[in-house]
Structure 1
Amino acid sequence: MPFTVDFLDDGRVRTWESTPDGAAEIVRSYTPRFFLASRSPDDEVDLTRLRAFYEGHPNVVGTETTTRRPGFRRDEERVLAVDVDHVDRITTLARQARQLPGSPVGDVACFNVDFSPEFRYCLETDTDPTPATDLTTLRLAVPVAETTDDTYSELTVDGERVSGPPADVLTAVAAAVDAQDPDVIVCSTAEIVPTLSRMAAAAGMDDFTLSRRPGVDYQQLAGESTYASYGRVGHSPARYNVPGRAIVDESNTFFYGETNLAGVLDLVSRSWKPLQELAWASIGNVLTAIQIREAHDRGVLVPWNSWRHEFFKPMGTLHDADRGGFIFAPAVGVHERVHELDFSSLYPNIICTRNVSPDVIRCGCHRDREDVPELGYAICDDRGYLVDVLQPLIDARDEIKAAIDRETEGSEPDPDRLEALEGRSAALKWILVACFGYQGFSNAKFGRIECHEAINAFAREILLTAKERLEAGGWRVVHGIVDSVWVTPAPDIDSAARADLDTLAAEISDAVEVRLEHEAEYEWVAFVPQRDSDAGALTKYFGKVAGEDEFKIRGVEARQRSTAPFVAATQRTFLERFAANRDPTAILEALRTAIDRLHAGVVDPERLVERNRVSKPRAAYSQYTKNVAALERAEDDGLAVQPGQTVEYVVVDDAKTSRDRVALAHENPESYDPAYYETQLVRAAESVLAPLGWDRTEIREALDETRPTDLTVFGAGQTGKRE
């Protein structure tokens, strides 16, 4: 079971397996393969001519005419298999299928082309890349200020700070590598790998290497790139490979950041994407890998480019289908004795219980049926492949959640086991969350928009059924969205006539075939209106969990990653005052105290750092925003901040339209703009007071009425202690 795979220049592979005695390496021959077939079953392709062309190609090892299914909705057909001498040449060879000289060969399509290399190897050789033993790890981190140079004078090695001339830094890293012989190197940025190599070359330390193979230091697998997804700009840093070790780049990993190593390895076992590839993969990429494994087991080829047409629909059906999930706008204000109920993995369970899958939706054999509510789509009785993909994930997560409950109920829970279980649960949750939206993604390998529409239709029906039964049972629905409902006891129903909520939830679960769970009970919940509107914000609320000293908050400033820590902490103080007596005066007092501290200069600027994502290059901004000022400072300091990455800064003078408007966090600013952060505090207070009917204008008026006329307080703390 290799945990990482290296590809050699001659086409062979070197696999690395974890053993109790360390990593073992094995060199094997390897011949990757891709396929060619007609794009449509109604088209004909001249496979003989294609085969003759590829057999004469110097990078082709061999060809074979065989049978495969070019799609889930197609039967077995004759296809051409092409064996290649190196994994890096597959894409180039596939492109040549449409570039043959002379007469055309037909409408040819390529399959199994764009797999990532390590995943391809595991899939084609039936190799499970799950490590057989625990992996050893080493973490290397570099401060942001150090990334501006080609040489590090400071580095953190497994939490221990190392500083000094390059030789000292390199010696410390080499000693840690020799002592731990890590299987995994976790880097704060993957640029640590080439930078250390350059430092070693400049220092004449020829024996320095992070690799397990003498003489082979590292390889660059991909350059950096910027991309856009659903209107959001992202940045992918360069990727590197170190022979014999898996690299995890903390600046370019979703699953390792959102879960932990146990969560990543759980997905390795399900997707067969080895650790290094899975660490930098997106949710959709991992879900696709799991789907590809299912397709492979069924003898179905994977299209290079998605070309699924959307089935014909009457205008009325298009109108009905173009709707999202269930939404019941929240009633703005404070509600007592609120219960939150969630359908467990609603969309994945809809897929599995209703057999919603691209290969069976709107099948040709049941055209007379109307299985999907509102839309009238038929769903075949044959079990869809997507059910086989998702049901094991749903079952596994249920088992893991049960194990977490057993662990936490014990008198002495094992923290390491609990952390591993929570990581695995979170990893599966992200896959299940994405499976629905991926059906409507135009570039999804096996998605189909009709599945997306059907899932939404079933979800709306399920939530409406739940709402009706809850109200019939004596409960009032105060909010509902997608898979969750919030209810309070209906005021006009006697408690003796009100149905038990757990019993009612069980009955609804049986009726809709998806488990409705009691997520939480709140002493109260406050739903916040939209900014500059009286309508309720769908995902902006806060509430006091019953019997516990904690709040559940969504959408407000303390929950937003961009909010400065001081503002977030102050808003939590507002929530505590709100919970104590819901007296706006108490919240205004806390607001006034925080504002006074700002103007007194006693707030540590580190607690005023804001984090914002950059959406485009500096030159593309038409307004001089704080992000632009931060980008200018970063550029002057030699920091390359790309679209999709984040900038961290303190606002020092918001009135300026120059780089002096902000100071970058690593510059350790000593001052800040109190008026700017006062505005942020007022916004945070408005979010808490809005359910009580207050807006920022009223908050400002209340502050002005009680603002002290003696302004000496604002200068009293200039030399005082900062917190």
Structure 2
Amino acid sequence: MPFTIDFLDDGRVLEWEATANGAIATEHDDYTPRFYVAPRDPGADVDLTSLQSVYEQHPNVVATEMVVRRPGFRRDEEPVLVVDVEHIDRITSLSRQARQLSAYPVGDLACFNVDFSREFRYCLENEIDPMPASDLSTLRLSVPVTETSGETYTELSVAGDTVTGPPADLLTTVQTALEEHDPDILICSTSEIIPTLYEMAAAAGVDEFTLSRWPDVAYQQLASRSTYSSYGRVGHSPARYNVPGRAIVDESNTFFYGETNLDGVLDLVSRSKKPVQELAWASIGNVLTAIQICEAHDRGVLVPWNSWRHEFYKPVGTLHDADRGGFIFAPDVGLHEDVHELDFSSLYPNIICTRNVSPDVIRCECHRDRDDVPGLGYAICDKRGYLVDVLQPIIDARDDIKAAIRREQQRDDPDEERLEELEGRSGALKWILVACFGYQGFSNAKFGRIECHEAINAFAREILLTAKQRLEAGGWRVVHGIVDSIWVTPDPDVDDDDREDLETLAIEITESVEIRLEHEAHYEWVAFVPQRGSDAGALTKYFGKVAGKDKFKIRGIEARQRSTPPFIEEVQRECLERFDATRSAEAVLGCLQDAIERLRSGEVPVKQLVERNRVSKPLEEYTQNTQNVAALKRARDQDLAVHPGQDIEYVVVDDEKASRGRVALAHEEIESYDPSYYETELVRAVESVLSPLGWSRSDIHQELAKTRVPELTAFTDAGNN
């Protein structure tokens, strides 16, 4: 089966199959992609034959015919117009013309199967599984950030070896590595490496240089770079390039490869029918949609170009009841001994599968008077929903993979490569399961429906409340609970002899709610952190010592935040270890004092103080002189392109300044740093550790001041003597 597919300008298609002796190309010149046209509303009086006759005269249309398909999961089969197109690049423009060429009003017609990515479309229409039959070979090319702004490179890493020198030397090294490794996949630190290498070759007169396996095409640009916003977060999408015969993985523009590994990517390739290159740059929602489209295709259901699902009518009271999230028990701020964490396995996906929550069966007409969703009065049809068929295989596969991981870990000599493969696959499936719930409420989801989102939340609230009540009745006190997790500790008012076994309770709850409640972890102690400036507990900030193991579980505090400098993280973890050993706030403050002294004496390596922050907008749009702005100004001075959605790394050298001198970029030669600024960051991190014990930042400062007074007095006395 082909692992990558290339589309040439003249309409030919190249299928590349990986074999033990290298990749083999199969050329096709008869591929005609297609889209469909149907009435937007079922039962509409629309005659498609007139539109068909117009399309038949179009120079870019190869053929048309009337076929029977389902224009939606809630619609029966009906005649639709299929249009075969001569070139894949003409699909979108010809689809837009359906409304212009038809005599019907714009809202009467709808187009289907339009906005598919190219390789995915090809695999779907030709019933191709792009999962490679042989292992894929890889070659990594990377450049340091200082090289990304110029038109040529003076330093390049090839297969882990750094090469410096004139362009001809770098190009020779790359070409030699290509011939030696013959990679199926090029893993690039940035996709701009591809055009830059060709520009270098042209400037240096190196005519024979090529990354491509196809002699007639060097490379193709598939998309330009862009900036986007998703749920209030700005992201940057780099330009995308294609090299015939090789899949490209751009490390600056890949979620699944970055969060898992190549094994995780390949697992999703087999489920989504998206080849490696498209899977690598795809978002979670994009891959989930592809898996749903495959299910729709198998059922003869067309995929709408634009989502136009209406929200079912609801009384005001139902709107109020439905507009709630998962159930949350506010954390009991403070330190708790002997704590157990219980998690429902893949709660939301399992709710979908056990309760048959799917867009095509929620609030069905055939059971409209039935009350299946607790508190909302929604009916769910007895007919199995398509979303169940999408998710159940993924749930089952991840359960099997997790079981295999446990078996491998229990061996005397675990196979680390096997574990890496299993963990990559498990991680990839986890992200699909995590996204499946939220995607039901996403307005642009191809098949989502807000009523599914509301129903899942309603079931989740009931399940968590049921678990809480049964655990408390069994002699356990709930100290925190959020969405799918519950933390409990033995109720001090219940005798040990009267307390029910936790494993037995978990089995009973599992049987009651039909979703497995697992014992996730046992902690010697757990500390729940209050919100800053409030006594209320922060829902996702806590830390605890895992019972019987020399490790901590940390969530939400600085050591888990991506912007935290390594030194601050290291000190916070040292404070946790000191606290675990002594249960003493004074011991933690002693650790803090030692760190502050190291800062002030200049002992901390500058690289340990690098902060990493995301750029949210162009430099010109910032109105405050923040550290990010100072860093962006320095980057601009050095002709380094940092786009909204990308990260910028810097060290704070003088936080009192308002200019670009406030920071230094991480790659610069940095001789000093601002110890006062990093001391403030240290105190903030230690506050997270001590706040569950009632310590505030001012308390920490006061205690630090006490320890400094004797030192100052001793210094003065020594001077007087």
* TM category, shorter: over 0.9
How many angstroms apart in 2 are the aligned matches of 1:640 and 1:501?
Answer: 55
Matched residue type, 2:46: V
Q: Which residue of 2 aligns with 1:115?
A: 116
The code of the aligned residue for 2:379 comes to: A
Letter in 1 for 2:131: T
> Counterparts in 2 of 1:239-638, with a 5 A limit?
239-638=240-639
Measure how far apart 1:367 and its partner are. 1.0
* More displaced 10-residue stretch of structure 1: 664-673 or 225-234: 664-673
Q: Structure 1 residues 29-38 or 447-456, which shifts more?
A: 29-38
What is the CA-CA distance between 1:44 and the residue it aligns to?
2.7
Contact 1:45 1:105 in 2 (8 A): no
Once the two structures are superposed, what CA deviation does each residue of 1:276-315 show, in whole Å capped at 9, x if it has no partner?
Answer: 0000000000000000000000000000000000000000
Residue 104 to residue 326, structure 1, CA distance change in 2 (3 Å): closer
Amino acid at match of 2:624: Q
2:458 & 2:390 partners in 1: Cα distance? Answer: 21
Matching of residues 74-85 of structure 1 within 5 Å:
74-85=75-86
Q: What secondary structure, in the 3-state scheme, does the structure 2 residue paired with 1:99 have?
A: helix
* 556-565 or 622-631, which deviates more: 622-631
CA shift digits 1:13-70 (9 cap, x unpaired)? 1010001111000011211000000111142323112111211111100101111100
SS in structure 2 of the partner of residue 378 of structure 1: coil
Cα distance in 1, alignment partners of residues 367 and 260 from structure 2? 43
Does structure 1 conserve the Cα–Cα contact (< 8 Å) formed by 2:559 and 2:568? Answer: yes
Deviation (angstroms), 1:600: 1.0
Question: Using the alignment, how far apart are the partners of 2:713 and 2:432 within structure 1?
Answer: 57
Please give the secondary structure, in 2, of the residue aligned with 1:330. Answer: coil
The Cα of 1:708 is off from its aligned counterpart by 5.4
Report the Cα distance in structure 2 between the residues aligned to 1:105 and 1:448, rounded to whole angstroms.
24
Change (3 A) 1:711 1:604: farther
For 1:458 and 1:63, locate their aligned partners in 2 and report how far apart those are by CA, in whole Å. 47
Contact 2:148 2:641 (C-alpha < 8 Å) held by counterparts: no
Please give the alpha-carbon distance, in whole angstroms, between the structure 1 residues aligned to 2:163 and 2:255: 28
Distance 2:159 2:580 in 1: 42
Distance 2:364 2:480 in 1: 37
Separation of aligned partners in 1, 2:681 and 2:49: 70
CA distance in 1, matches of 2:248, 2:107: 43
**What residue is the counterpart of 2:22 in the other structure?**
22
SS at match of 2:101: coil
Checking the alignment, whether the CA contact within 8 Å between 2:50 and 2:102 is kept in structure 1 is: no
2:324 partner letter: R
User: Separation in 1 of the partners of 2:577 and 2:408?
Assistant: 31
Counterpart code for 2:18:
S
Aligned residue type for 1:133: S
What is the CA distance between 1:447 and its match in structure 2? 0.1
User: Could you list the per-position Cα deviations for residues 368-392 of structure 1 after superposition, in whole angstroms to 9, with x for gaps in the alignment?
Assistant: 1000001010000000000000000
Residue 39 of structure 1 is matched in structure 2 by 40
Aligned to 1:707: 708
Q: What TM-score, normalized to structure 2?
A: 0.98
User: Aligned with 1:82: secondary structure?
Assistant: strand
Q: What value does the CA root-mean-square deviation take over the aligned residues?
A: 1.3
What does the per-residue CA deviation read over 1:330-354, in whole Å, with 9 as the maximum and x for residues that have no partner? 0000000000000000000000000
For 1:637-676, list aligned pairs within 5 A.
637-676=638-677
**What TM-score comes out, normalization by structure 1 length?**
0.98
* Counterpart AA for 1:243: P
Q: CA deviation at 1:706?
A: 1.0
CA distance in 1, matches of 2:74, 2:652: 57
Change (3 A) 1:198 1:664: same
Q: Distance in 2 between matches of 1:115 and 1:412?
A: 46
**CA deviations over 1:588-618 (Å, ceiling 9, x no partner):** 1111111111111111111000010111111
Q: Distance in 2 between matches of 1:11 and 1:140?
A: 30
User: CA contact under 8 A between 1:43 and 1:106: conserved in structure 2?
Assistant: no
Q: Output one character per residue of 1:594-643: Cα deviation in whole Å (capped at 9) or x when no partner.
A: 11111111111110000101111111112111111111111111111111
CA deviations over 1:83-136 (Å, ceiling 9, x no partner): 001111100110111123766486100000000000000000000000000000
CA distance in structure 2 between the partners assigned to 1:698 and 1:662 by the alignment: 30
1:713 CA displacement:
13
Greater CA drift, 376-385 or 647-656 = 647-656
Provide the C-alpha distance between the structure 1 equivalents of 2:102 and 2:327, rounded to a whole number of angstroms: 55
Give 1:171 deviation, angstroms. Answer: 0.8
SS of the counterpart of 2:481? strand
Once residues 534 and 107 of structure 2 are traced to their aligned partners in structure 1, the CA distance between those partners, rounded to angstroms, is 59
Query: In the alignment, what sits opposite 2:169?
Result: 168
Deviation string, structure 1 residues 438-469 (Cα, Å, up to 9, x no partner): 00000000000000000000000000000000
Look up the match of 2:204: 203
Q: CA deviation at 1:358?
A: 0.1
Q: Please say which of residues 279-288 and 145-154 is displaced more in the overlay.
A: 145-154
What is the alpha-carbon distance in structure 1 between the residues aligned to residue 121 and residue 371 of structure 2? 40
Check the 8 A contact 1:606/1:668 in 2, yes or no: no
SS at the partner of 2:667?
A: helix
Per mean C-alpha deviation after superposition, the further-off stretch among 141-150 and 376-385 is 141-150
Pairwise CA distance, 1:649: 0.5
3-state secondary structure, aligned to 1:46: coil
Q: Distance in 2 between matches of 1:5 and 1:103?
A: 38
CA contact (8 A) 1:523 1:543 kept: yes
Structure 1: how far apart are the matches of 2:500 and 2:222?
Answer: 61
DSSP-derived class of the 1:439 partner: helix
Mapped partners of 2:93, 2:153: distance in 1:
39
Between 1:412-421 and 1:101-110, the stretch displaced more is 101-110
Instruction: Kindly indicate whether the alpha-carbon contact (under 8 Å) linking 1:528 and 1:540 is maintained by their aligned counterparts in 2.
Output: yes
Give SS of 1:195's match: helix
Report the Cα distance in structure 2 between the residues aligned to 1:664 and 1:710, rounded to whole angstroms. 36
Aligned with 2:148: secondary structure? Answer: helix
Report how far residue 711 of structure 1 moved. Answer: 7.5
Shift of 1:12: 2.0
The question of whether the paired residues in 1 share the 8 Å contact of 2:4 and 2:276 is answered with yes
**Does the alignment pair 1:7 with 2:7?**
yes
Paired letter, 1:259: T
Query: More deviation in 46-55 or 546-555?
Result: 46-55
Per-residue deviation at 1:10? 2.0
State whether residues 140 and 156 of structure 1, in contact with CA within 8 Å, keep that contact through their aligned partners in structure 2.
Answer: yes
Mapped partners of 1:361, 1:104: distance in 2? 31
SS in 2 for 1:400: helix
Find the aligned partners of 2:121 and 2:223 in 1 and give their Cα distance.
Answer: 17
Unaligned runs of 5+ in 2: 716-721
Q: Is 1:681 equivalent to 2:687 in the alignment?
A: no
What CA deviation, in whole Å up to 9, does each residue of 1:166-204 have, x standing for no partner? 111111111110000000000111111111111111111
> Structure 1 101/400 Cα, relative in aligned 2: closer, same or farther at 3 Å?
closer
Q: Secondary structure at the match of 1:303?
A: coil
Greater shift, 635-644 or 546-555, is seen at 635-644
Cα pair 1:50 1:105 within 8 Å, conserved: no
Q: Which runs of 5+ in 1 are unaligned?
A: 715-723
CA displacement at 1:483 relative to structure 2? 0.2
